[in-house]
Amino acid sequence: MQNQAQIDQVLRQKSDAKEIPGVVAIAADSKEVIYQGAYGKRDLSKDDAMTADSVFWIASMSKAITAAAGMQLVEQGKLSLDAPIGKVLPDLASPQVLEGFDADGTPKVRPATNPITLRHLMTHTAGFCYDMWNGDMVKYLERTGTPGITSCKNEALKTPIMTDPGTRWEYGTNIDFIGKAVEAVSGKKLDAYLRDHLFTPLGMSDTGFKIGEAQRKRLVAMHQRGEEGSLAPIPFELEQDPEFHMGGGGLYGTAGDYIKFTQMILNKGRGNGNQVLKPETVAMMGQNHIGELNMTKMTSAVAFATNDVDLYPGMVKKWGLSFLINTARTPEGRRACQHLLLDRPVARRHRRNPDAGAAVRGQKMPGSVRRLRERRLCRARCRAEGGVISFPSPRSCRERVRVRG
């Protein structure tokens, strides 16, 4: 790996300059952790230093975990990738497409032409969206009084879709429905299922929807960037007794726990001595499952929550189950490989490079896309064959409760 002191220096400088509150970075190949560091503060209003075992709201990084749970049940024949998911989730049996609004602002909907499938949900082609990147959904929520997804209320899932299933890629609440499907066919609540079938087998003892007493002492605060550019902590916590567990963005956990999950993917479904997914399942998850469709730019519709998101502008990007797939060499020099995009209100990304056998975990607040150049510089300095780095933790919340995720 490149000089680890260089990685330390970059992360320490950004934290000391208060460009970020703090950061936990961890890198691993398929066999062992090859870098780990923690800098800055968990909360800028307190003296507690960031530590490697700090607990974050991992937001959309939850998606990969929930998708893996869904694929376990596909292996068992309890879920089907291509059967109408309405057979499992009656609320999705007759999806309605939002076509616009009447003159008085009343939403206009029509029946979808195609049924929604699990594959659609896993690839973000079912038609669901996030309001922060869809102005029509912003208007719909306001007009109908429907709560936002981070309320973790069942009513938040009762939204129309924006396009017919299978006709367009759009990042949205899809994975939350996979969590519901896992519950429906397993007979367990999502928190219990993930604990029994992924967290315990993989040794991820610090990850869950509910913040334990010991975790709360290590919890990283959410921060918001003011107009003058300074960061300050803000109150934020997901409902601890939710109506539903948000499989698309509700987990809290540590970098050390998440790297165990990424190593499981690198080791073809095996981690901590347990085979939690079949090798052929992991291989299938990393293939393109959206055909001729492409991942597209996400344009902000809620300025305080997110900036525009356009990962690797100009590059054709595909989607697996549930991985972002880059089809060309990236600007920082990575060969065409696969990413797990878990970019939610607290945006985080997990990258997989099958050739180098490395997992990458990054963290930042939503909307930090304007700092892509800075992150790429950091990657360039920290890149190593088979290495991984992690980016700043909860950052700015112009950028805040995004929801995404």
User: Which pLDDT belongs to residue 361?
Assistant: 34
Measured CA distances, 395 to 20, 55, 184, 214, 222 (Å): 6, 15, 36, 24, 7
Catalytic residue among 15, 30, 54, 60: 60
Nearest-angstrom CA–CA distance, 319 and 336: 13
* pTM score: 0.84
Instruction: Burial-class residue 167 by CB neighbours within 10 Å (0-12, 13-18, 19+).
Output: middle
Nearest-angstrom CA–CA distance, 299 and 302: 9
Catalytic residue among 14, 30, 62, 63: 63
User: Which pLDDT belongs to residue 2?
Assistant: 58
Per-residue pLDDT of the chain (405 residues; tens, 9 = 90+): 458 999 999 999 999 999 999 999 999 999 999 999 999 999 999 999 999 999 999 999 999 999 999 999 999 999 999 999 999 999 999 999 999 999 999 999 999 999 999 999 999 999 999 999 999 999 999 999 999 999 999 999 999 999 999 999 999 999 999 999 999 999 999 999 999 999 999 999 999 999 999 999 999 999 998 888 899 999 999 999 999 999 999 999 999 999 999 999 999 999 999 999 999 999 999 999 999 999 999 999 998 888 899 999 999 999 999 989 999 988 877 778 644 444 443 433 333 333 333 333 333 333 333 333 334 433 433 333 333 333 333 333 333 322 233
Helix, strand and coil content of the chain, in percent to the nearest 5, comes to: 30, 20, 50
Is residue 14 annotated as a catalytic residue, yes or no?
A: no
CB 284 within 8 A of CB 119: no
Catalytic residue among 171, 193, 252, 312: 171
CA torsion sign, 395 to 398 to 401 to 402? negative
Tokens of 276: 């939690």
Is residue 45 annotated as a catalytic residue, yes or no?
A: no
Is residue 60 annotated as a catalytic residue, yes or no?
A: yes
User: Which pLDDT belongs to residue 399?
Assistant: 31
For 220-265, the three-class secondary structure string (H helix, E strand, C coil) is CCEEEECCCCCEEEECCCCCCCCCCCCCCCCCEECHHHHHHHHHHH
User: Which pLDDT belongs to residue 3?
Assistant: 80
Write the single-letter amino acid at 8: D
User: Which pLDDT belongs to residue 30?
Assistant: 94
Please state, as a whole number, how many other Cβ atoms lie within 10 Å of the Cβ of residue 266. Answer: 23
Question: CA torsion angle for 33, 36, 42, 48 (degrees, to 10)?
Answer: 110
